[in-house]
Amino acid sequence: MASMRYVSTRGLAPVVSFSEAVTLGLAPDGGLFVPAELPDLRPHLAAWGKLGYDDLAFEFLRLFADDVPTEELRGMVRAAYTTFDHADRAPLVRLSDDLAVLELFHGPTLAFKDFALQLLGRLYERQVRLTGRPITVLGATSGDTGSAAIHGLLGRPGVRIFILYPNGRVAPLQERQMACTGADNVFPIAIPGSFDDAQKIVKDLFGDRGFVADVGLSAINSINLARVLAQCVYYLWARLRLDEAGQGETEFVVPTGNFGNVLAGWMLSRMQVPGLRFCVATNRNDILHRFFSTGDYSAGSVEPSLAPSMDIQAASNFERYVWFLENGDSARVRAVMADVAAGRGYVSHSPALGSVRSARLDDEGIRAVIARVYADYGYVADPHTACGFAVEPLSGVSQVVLATASPAKFPDTVRAAIGLDPRHPSLDALADHPIVRHELAADASVVRDFVRRHA
């Protein structure tokens, strides 16, 4: 019955099934997995318009996860999204006739990454059950990925998770989300230095093949295929709500760093879902804005900003988009990625396949936009979401801004902009929990010994 096949963007890895692609994460040739063919969703849309979020997610994902038994998949999807605190999961909040917000922060860690990681945690658990082999997840974070990954995996039998982060450089509430879980399979590790130092240790440890094999090491980064597919669902959900309301062409404005979120939406337009446009909204780290406005993809240095989860100059999902831009020519993708890795960059003469445009917003703009959106609509936006609200609409096209995090996660910036203190009960509750974290030296061998002792 399994018929959906996944190929590597670099074309030198074997074709795999959904479950294999999820377990591997990165393809063995260094590429990213993409579906060999994308389904045409048009025949499903009328029926799918009547479904609730969880059922829609199941119907969509079963087209891709066709080697997972149907009822098992349904159970995992339901369990993943019942952790959310809103019945719609991704409520579409209307601010005016042609402007709405798609709130993606109703999951356990109050940021959009929960949509993917709540499901991925359950797929990992299934894998452990099938193979009988435990998994050790190791990653580095500057904030939201670490907390969402931890909450996707905490308490799951056979899975341990180690997250490195730069001591003193993640937002205090993000640290509490990682370090106050009380779960004994979760190990938050604070190291001195920057996010790059943490990331480097993780890369070094993944390069140690004996260690990888001994502890069953697995990465939980934004390149996992399951993350992209899980994120397609809320665009589809929103599009179906807009259809219901008789709204025509709509531009989804997506606060962007690694290009994972917006790529998911854009892939739906390749599945023939009509009426979709996209705008890539960056902060001052604007490599993707430069690419979409000039065709030139060349990295600058990363500057800290008020929207820290978008402080990225090497968008890890970009390679999937290049594969589409280059019509699936994997030799060409290999050449492009080699150029990018060598610092030579990439130039495309038609970067906006379909309808993608872009914008950027610096820190001053972020504060000003939070204030303006509050004044105009009484709506409180977090600093990442603010980048999306800065985009001038196209005439005759309605806009949906994706709210990627709850303002309660970034109270200092929001308070400075509008004088209000955004709160969320789940964050308030963390204040009473003890912080359990491990301070280690920024040294791969120290971290390796620690993981071996606890895995």
Binding site for ligand PLP (CB under 6 A): 111, 113, 144, 222, 255-261, 309-310, 384, 404-405
Examine the residue annotation and report whether 200 is marked as an active-site residue of this protein.
Answer: no
Sheet holding 356-360, edge to edge: 92-96, 99-103, 398-403, 250-255, 276-282, 356-360
Q: Which is nearer to ligand PLP, 309 or 413 (CB)?
A: 309
For ligand PLP, the closer CB: 10 or 384:
384
Give the nearest distance from C-beta 235 to ligand PLP in angstroms.
13
Least spacing, CB of residue 279 vs ligand PLP, in Å: 13
Cβ atoms of 268 and 398 closer than 8 Å: no
Beta strands in 293-355 (DSSP E): 296-297, 346-347
CB of 448 to ligand PLP, least distance (A): 27
Query: Shortest gap between Cβ of 89 and ligand PLP (angstroms)?
Result: 17
DSSP characters for 82-141?
TTSSSTTSS-EEEEETTEEEEE---STTSBTHHHHHHHHHHHHHHHHHHH---EEEEEE-
What whole-number distance in Å separates Cα of residue 346 and Cα of residue 323?
Answer: 13
Q: How far is the CB of 150 from ligand PLP (least distance, A)?
A: 14
- Alpha helices by DSSP H, listed for 327-423, are 330-341, 363-377, 383-389, 411-418
CA distances from 324 to 63, 111, 396 (A): 20, 28, 28
d(CA 39, CA 201): 39
CA distances, 429 to each of 170, 186, 281, 400 (Å): 19, 19, 32, 31
Distance in Å, CB of 384 to ligand PLP, minimum: 4
Q: Which residue number, 54 or 144, has a Cβ lying nearer to ligand PLP?
A: 144
CB nearer to ligand PLP: pick between 215 and 408 = 408
Annotated catalytic residue within 113, 200, 203, 409: 113
Which CB sits closer to ligand PLP, 228 or 440? 228
The contacts of residue 396 (CB under 8 Å, 6+ apart) are 249
Please count the residues of the chain. 455
Report the Cα 389 to chain-centroid distance in Å.
19
211 or 278: CB nearest ligand PLP: 278
Q: Which residues are catalytic?
A: 113
